[in-house]
Amino acid sequence: MKHIYTSIALLGIVTALGGVTPAVQALPTQMLIVQRTAQELFSQGLEKYKAGNFKGAIADFTQAIRLSPNIAELYIARGNAYYDQGDKQTALKDYNQGLRINPNYAAAYVERGNARDDLGDRKGAIEDYDKAIQLNADLAEAYDNRAVTHVRMGNKEAAIADWQKAAQLYQQQNKTERYQAALDKIKQLQQ
């Protein structure tokens, strides 16, 4: 359920780094090479991440960040690699930095909420999921993950409401496995 935003991040970084606008065309050639290199490092890091090579992905994302330090998606991607490697605290730092750069990045709030929840900061996790939903009310994963946190806090009614909303959105988005999983979680709580 976690880190489903790799494709979104890739689209964002490709757009951020690869779009050739008139302003970009006016940049010196050396700057364009740096931008292209950051994009290549990001793409290479994503491939390593997908293959489970988190250490290699972190190295590539770190190099990309050195070249383009103001792109939120790079920090979020590196945070995901740290998270999946088991280093939740470092992941949280990267999520924080990504959100400082782009405070309207809804998916990043979900990722940070996941890290906060895993670190025991349930209130902070709920706040992050709330912010993600405020920014994008169709983000089913925010409702789904918030429901998990509500269960951990003993708030069954809130969890059921969130899973109902997540199920509705998953169904609309043709995500049948996630739709069914949300329904199953509701049934479990109602027993």
What pLDDT digit, counting tens, does each position of 78-117 carry? 999 999 999 999 999 999 999 999 999 999 999 999 999 9
52 CB-contact burial (10 Å; exposed 0-12 / middle 13-18 / buried 19+): exposed
| 1-102 matches 109-191 in fold | yes
Q: What is the CATH number of domain 109-191?
A: 1.25.40.10
Domain 1-102 has CATH 1.25.40.10: yes
Taking the CA atoms of 81, 86, 87 and 93 in sequence, report the sign of the dihedral they define.
positive
Where residue 37 falls among pLDDT bands split at 50, 70, 90?
confident
Q: Which residues of 56-76 are buried (b: 16+ CB within 10 A; e: fewer)?
A: bbbbbbebbbebbeebbbbbb
